[in-house]
Structure 1
Amino acid sequence: MRALIRIFSVVLLFIGFLAHSTAAREPVLKVLAGQKYEEIGQDILIFKDYTHQVSFQEILSEQYQKQFERGNQDVLSFGLQDISLWLKINVELEHSESVPYMLEIAFPTLDSIFYFYQDGDRWGEMFAGDRIPFSEREIDHKNFVFPIQPAPRKITTVYLRIRNKGSIILPIKIAPKEGFFAADLQEELLYGIFYGIMIVMFLYNLFLAFAARSLSYLYYIGIIAGNLFSLSALNGHAFQYLWPNNPWWANHVIIFGIGFWIFSGNLFAIRFLESNKNSRGYHIGFKVMRFMGLIIIVLAFVLDYEISLVIANYTLAFNCVYLLANGILFWRKGVKVAEIFTMAWALYLIGILLYTLRNLGFLPVNFMTTHVLEFGAVSEVILLSISFGYKYRLLEVDKKKAQKNVLDIMTRSQELIQLQNDDLEHRIQERTQELKQKQDEVLQQNEELNAKNEKLTEAQTIIEQQNILLRKYNDDLENQVATRTNDLQQSNQELAQNVQQLEQYAFMTAHNLRAPVARLLGLTNLLELSPDTDKQEWMMILSKIKEEGNSLDAVIKDMNAIIQLRSAADVELEWVNIEEKVNQVKRILKNSIAVSKIEILLNTKAFTEIKSNPTYIESILYNLISNAIKYKAPGDHSYIEIKTERLEENLLVSVRDNGVGINLDKYGNQLFGMYKRFHPHIEGKGLGLFLVKSQMSILGGDVKVESTPGLGTTFKLFFPLSL
């Protein structure tokens, strides 16, 4: 039993030793001078850093060296993985002399590559990637190229740290520096043919678009432009030659090109297949995909590159499938041009699917899967161009058929017209004979009618003369009636106004006299009830009677003033100097102006004189200025500004103050009423604005008010220009 245990232990130790020995043996790429080595993925060691935190010094430690794994593919492909990828490459030159080599990664869209190499006793570092300007690359090449100097008969180790937001595909090759660039000529020649075909088709169809004035050609060259944007960026040529100092655009132009291709492709499909006529539902689908193309174009500028790239790729794949399905549908519906259209999209779709599966790691990386998009784009462009010619040939055939049908119809129409003309001519001859007979009868009847017409003419002349006299009499009568009607209407209006004014006056008289008369009666009744009242009380009652008599007298005077104002049917007009009238009012109110310390400003630049009634003008200015003085705001900076202005239809005199103002929302409808007062704490009758309004009405003018409580009031006096 113990012997078996010992044997088992020895076997385990031997197996462990073998495993350790196997792990210790790292792959070494043995190169011969002048030889080129491609697809060396299985000679590379790999470590996947999912944390993105491992440094180069840590990679050199034994802990991480044990975690390196050997590559299992000739071309390493990791799909869309969010990792930092460490590569370790051991190279041994089987030659006695040192020969410089170049290490190339033929995938131009990698974000960042750190290259670590041995420089004597220390490690050197280089950086590359499509996130830095192209001019900062150590070696001018569309792919990422680093120098490597393997030592003769000795293992030289280099490390690469690679990070990319998109697919990670690593076609790595090592080639001698001498002749390295010359080896790319064949591939660049193929790219030149590809770009040449695309650019020639672009320019040719651009010329056709302007010559034929067809939007279909413009949409078609949009497809070509979208392909050129995306593919030139994916191949690295756009970054190398077009925008080498703009790495941001070098990445995002791929998304922009995809969006532009989707947008133009669906516009082309709508126009080319005439989807609005053949299938309304699929036409809406084309418009939705066109809108998605616009969204992707916008996302290229505003969204994170990784997210927008995923959205663009999925949308592109779906759009190709949708276009292919619609091509098949329209083909089955009998749309002849859909046949070549479908084949074009089928080849392009196959190319996109193969390219996508390669990027995701499902297909191997080889010449076909690497360049399938270029083949698909060229075939798509050529087939779509052929479909253009085919479509216009069909249109030409249909045009000839339509012309032949038109000629046949015209021939049949001419035959029918000839038959109708013959029949019509026969009928005309018959009708001509009938008309000739009728004409003879008509001539005879005309002779009889002429004799009667002569008599009628004489009678008509007499009637016309009488009608002229009658119309003249009617015109005179209508003018008289119109004049009398106007006079009666004016009289009725004046009478109605007078009646209304008399009613108002009677009401105001009764209202204003009632209070003082009632108080007088009350005082006299008090004397009758108390005849033995002492002298002092008698004197007090008499003083009250006197006050009420004065109040009654004031009311009567106000009524007389109103009566005189109402009775002024015609006022005499003369030229009135505004400045003189303002000065006259200032003399009358001299004491009030001095006490209130108010400043009166006069601006008569527009006009100085107005044709009006001087008494009314002075009364109006007096009432407005005295009101402004009464209702001035507290403080020493009060003013009244009087200004003249010329309007299109009126002469304007404005009186503005910065007083307490009036609440027009509350009192606007009562402002020009008789005995209306809105500031009870200030002495007044409430008659001034009533007189202003009445006098302006008599003068044929109008008055308007603008006021804000606490900020002041402006009275605007509008005088007619006719005065």
Structure 2
Amino acid sequence: MRYLLIVVLGWLPLLAAAVDFDDSTRSLPLGRVMHVFEDRDGNASIAQVSAPSFSEHFRPHQADVLNAGYSTSVFWIRLDLRYTAKPSATPRSWLLELAYPPLDHLELYLPDSAGGFYLAQRTGDALPYSSRQIEQNNYLFELPFVPGHTTTAYLRLHSQGSVQAPLTLWSTEAYLEAQPTRLYVLGLIYGVLLGMLVYNLFIYLSVRDTSYLYYILYIASFGLYQVSVNGAGVAYFWPDNPWWANASTPLFIGAAGLFGCQFARSFLRMAQHSRAFDGLLKLLMVSGGVVMLLSLVSSYGLALRLATALALLFTVSIFAAGLYAWWRGMRVARYFIIAWSAFLLGGLVNTLMVLGYLPNVFLTMYASQIGSALEVGLLSLALADRINTMRNQQAQALRETGRALEMLNQQLANSNRLKDEFLATVTHELRTPMNGVIGSLELMQTVSMDRELAQYQHTASAAAQDMMGMVDDILILTELQAGRLSAQNAPFALRGLLQELRAKYAAAALSKGLYLNLDAPADLPEMLIGDRHKLALCLGYLLDNGIKFTHQGGVMLQVRGRLQGPDVLGLSISVSDSGIGFDRLAEPGLYQRFFQVDGSMSRQYGGLGIGLAICRQLAELIGARLQHESNPGQGSRFELGLSLALSQPQALSRQGLNRG
């Protein structure tokens, strides 16, 4: 009898502490009806803690949620639950939910038939997702109850991170009915984060401001952190990787701190406003990188504690930097502060909850997500204001640049005019002494000279003629630039012009061992109306270039004609050579003034590099089209196409030309 009394007295505290519920109960928060024992050494076993004599070590819990913060202790929770349905009711199962996914180790012990307790379930995010009895991101256990009986259950909790245990007993129907609301809230939060990311991505692609790129990376890091801490990551993305399930949380916190600080530095232009705040944000960026590294190479507990401290410092520092920029008169800082206040307040509340200073309820658990959802609407004001400010600055810069360019264009026009006038004056002045030099050298030919002196005279005369040619080229170029030249049409003999050109350049070709052939059909009309002088100049430049850049073979001057009407002849005059040619890379600058295909050509081949530029302008002046084709090492072909009036249309019937 004495022993029976001892047993009854030992179990009496347990019976007195049991909480009643019945079929009308939909959900029962267990925070204030459970008993907690903190095992600082972690050595207690289920046999020890379930012994009647050990019940005095359990303390009634006075808060809605067990929140021990970062603790290395093992926590035992005892639940005494009595199902008070009618005795005739059948046994029924209820759902026990622990709504804190980041918990590392969780063990559930239920009574066995021998009066002891057995391990009914072992799970946690340090184990694969398949270890859960019911696959949910929160921990969910099925508890059997017999009407009128008290069921005692023990939970053993241990984690390197924050230890929290928001426990609720649910009826199956009530739990299923509550899930849509919870899923809608999470879906809204993740949808807002994704919307923020896509929205800012479009902003970045539109304005190419790196501030938005940093913000995109920050949002991505923060969103992945939420996926990790809310259990969605282990449920959908890495269910069989417990190591990454733990390491990802501090890693993404560190990444969010790193990119968030860089975004604030860029958006608020801290380097310009405050070297102190800029240095502080750089230090936090380095700290974020260190946390990311430690999350991969060190213990999860150390990395998570440092990440939490970083989150607090990040929250305060960003807010202070925004206030400072606002105080310095930065327009966008006020919108930045308003937008970030909501997010930072939510992050601060969530961090304080993790540290154990605030209770774990729905608002504190999802405070950072709710704050980020509010931020996207508020930050749009900052983004819009930033874009408007940038547009105004760009418009002002464009106006100032336009005025500067207009002044510069006027200066360039004046400089070009003065340059052309100077070149025209110089060339005119050079012609007089050069004519004297050339005349004197020609008179020397009438004087008897020995062979050596005659050679000197010949060399000097050739050099003077070349110099005179350059002077004439520059004079023509300046007159073309000044617009003082125009087409002067008059009757001329085409065949005579071609023969003169061949005779003029034959000696130069012969001196290099080249041929200079003329291919002109015999039935070409003799007399045409056009600007003979400018046509001869244009063809002369092409022949001179062909001879200059050809070492073997020769140059061909080819003419073809085709009637385009009763008194109009279409001419195609081409100059082909077997010289060095050029590739397409040289084509854009081919007709520029003072341009050589190869810089060394000015030394090897001589010349000013203005022949083709003059040739094209002369061709346009007389209504001709200048085209070319060339291959390196195979030569070049320049074709001049123009239409000229016939001087004697009545003689066409005797010509062998076809009408076009």
| Cα displacement (A) at 1:411 | 8.6
| Cα displacement (A) at 1:191 | 0.6
Paired residue for 1:124, among 118, 121, 128?
118
| Cα displacement (A) at 1:292 | 2.2
Please say if residues 80 and 150 of structure 2, whose CA atoms lie closer than 8 Å, have aligned partners that are also in contact: yes
Task: Show the counterpart of 1:364.
Answer: 359
User: Is 1:78 aligned to residue 71 of structure 2?
Assistant: no
| Cα displacement (A) at 1:157 | 0.8
Task: Show the counterpart of 1:60.
Answer: 50
Task: Show the counterpart of 2:93.
Answer: 100
| Cα displacement (A) at 1:458 | 5.1
Offset from partner CA, 1:291-327 (integer Å, 9 cap, x none): 2222222111101000000111111211222222222
Which blocks of at least 5 consecutive residues in structure 2 are unaligned?
1-8, 419-424, 458-660
C-alpha separation between the residues in 1 aligned to 2:172 and 2:220? 36
User: Is 1:340 aligned to residue 335 of structure 2?
Assistant: yes
**Aligned AA for 1:84?**
V
SS in 2 for 1:102: strand
C-alpha separation between the residues in 2 aligned to 1:74 and 1:81? 19
User: Is 1:200 aligned to residue 190 of structure 2?
Assistant: no
C-alpha separation between the residues in 1 aligned to 2:454 and 2:436? 26
C-alpha separation between the residues in 1 aligned to 2:436 and 2:31? 123
Task: Show the counterpart of 2:596.
Answer: none
C-alpha separation between the residues in 2 aligned to 1:413 and 1:456? 49
Most deviating of 133-142 and 323-332: 323-332
User: Is 1:250 aligned to residue 223 of structure 2?
Assistant: no
Query: Residues 400, 121 of structure 1: CA spacing in aligned structure 2 closer, same or farther, 3 A cutoff?
Result: same
Which structure has more RCO (C-alpha within 8 Å, separation ≥ 6)?
2
C-alpha separation between the residues in 2 aligned to 1:117 and 1:251? 28
Task: Show the counterpart of 1:46.
Answer: 36
The correspondence of residues 273-312 of structure 1 with structure 2, limited to 5 A, is 273-312=268-307
C-alpha separation between the residues in 2 aligned to 1:127 and 1:222? 37
C-alpha separation between the residues in 2 aligned to 1:68 and 1:314? 32
Which blocks of at least 5 consecutive residues in structure 1 are unaligned?
1-18, 426-434, 472-723
| Cα displacement (A) at 1:21 | 11
Please say if residues 10 and 52 of structure 2, whose CA atoms lie closer than 8 Å, have aligned partners that are also in contact: no
Query: Residues 159, 22 of structure 1: CA spacing in aligned structure 2 closer, same or farther, 3 A cutoff?
Result: closer
| Cα displacement (A) at 1:336 | 1.6
Task: Show the counterpart of 1:645.
Answer: none
The TM-score normalised by the length of structure 1 is 0.54
Larger-gyration structure (1/2): 1
The correspondence of residues 33-432 of structure 1 with structure 2, limited to 5 A, is 33-96=23-86, 97=89, 98-122=91-115, 123-125=117-119, 126-210=121-205, 212-405=207-400
Please say if residues 95 and 152 of structure 1, whose CA atoms lie closer than 8 Å, have aligned partners that are also in contact: yes
C-alpha separation between the residues in 1 aligned to 2:165 and 2:437? 120
Please say if residues 105 and 144 of structure 1, whose CA atoms lie closer than 8 Å, have aligned partners that are also in contact: yes
Please say if residues 224 and 381 of structure 1, whose CA atoms lie closer than 8 Å, have aligned partners that are also in contact: no
Please say if residues 33 and 99 of structure 1, whose CA atoms lie closer than 8 Å, have aligned partners that are also in contact: no
C-alpha separation between the residues in 1 aligned to 2:130 and 2:441? 115
The structure richer in helix per residue is 1
The percentage of counterpart residues that share the same residue type is: 25
CA RMSD between the two structures: 3.9
SS in 2 for 1:95: coil
| Cα displacement (A) at 1:119 | 3.6
Query: Residues 455, 292 of structure 1: CA spacing in aligned structure 2 closer, same or farther, 3 A cutoff?
Result: closer
C-alpha separation between the residues in 2 aligned to 1:182 and 1:140? 17
C-alpha separation between the residues in 1 aligned to 2:83 and 2:99? 23
Query: Residues 461, 38 of structure 1: CA spacing in aligned structure 2 closer, same or farther, 3 A cutoff?
Result: farther
The TM-score normalised by the length of structure 2 is 0.59
Task: Show the counterpart of 2:468.
Answer: none
C-alpha separation between the residues in 2 aligned to 1:336 and 1:131? 48
C-alpha separation between the residues in 2 aligned to 1:407 and 1:455? 56
| Cα displacement (A) at 1:60 | 2.1
Offset from partner CA, 1:84-136 (integer Å, 9 cap, x none): 11111111111122331111111111111111112433533211211111122
SS in 1 for 2:20: strand
Query: Residues 207, 468 of structure 1: CA spacing in aligned structure 2 closer, same or farther, 3 A cutoff?
Result: same
Offset from partner CA, 1:363-391 (integer Å, 9 cap, x none): 22322212111112223344444422221
C-alpha separation between the residues in 2 aligned to 1:249 and 1:161? 23
SS in 2 for 1:79: strand
Query: Residues 214, 461 of structure 1: CA spacing in aligned structure 2 closer, same or farther, 3 A cutoff?
Result: farther
| Cα displacement (A) at 1:412 | 9.1
C-alpha separation between the residues in 1 aligned to 2:48 and 2:208? 66
**Number of aligned pairs?**
435
The correspondence of residues 648-687 of structure 1 with structure 2, limited to 5 A, is none
